[in-house]
Amino acid sequence: MSLTYLAALAISIGGLAVLDRRLRLALFVQPARTMVTVAGAVVVFLAWDALGVGRGIFFIGDAPYLTGVRLAPQIPVEELLFLVLLTYQTLLLWRWFSRSRDARTRSAPDDGPPGGTSRAVDA
């Protein structure tokens, strides 16, 4: 039994939370919405994992860095934290890129209609 991978995942999720708090991207702006989004994605991915295990596609194999605790046959507890990490990271990246895009759009000068120049019409 080793806590190495579990600890690495927990530290990584903690690092994402620190980054999220500093940049105010998700959890510290809309906590309920963030938790529902991450939990929903994790449930979908766990179902995907269960399907893969049932078909013999996914299996644990030789895993010296896992705790040995299982959520289900061939699904280690570390998988749950990995899926939280994966979905939380994706959500933070999406929010950060969206914010960056919105900031660029707001700061762009209005040079007239797209695709051409505007000319004043003499009356």
What pLDDT digit, counting tens, does each position of 92-111 carry? 999 999 998 877 777 766 55
Average pLDDT, the chain: 89
pLDDT at 37: 98
Is this model's pTM higher than 0.85 or not? no
What percent of the chain clears pLDDT 90, i.e. is strictly above it? 71
For residues 14-26, average pLDDT? 98
Q: Where are the domains of the chain?
A: 4-98
For residues 65-91, average pLDDT? 95
Q: How buried is residue 53: exposed, middle or buried, by Cβ count under 10 Å (0-12/13-18/19+)?
A: middle
In this structure, the strands spanning 70-72 and 75-76 are antiparallel
Place of tokens 């929010």: 95
User: Which ranges in the chain belong to alpha helices (H)?
Assistant: 4-23, 31-54, 77-107
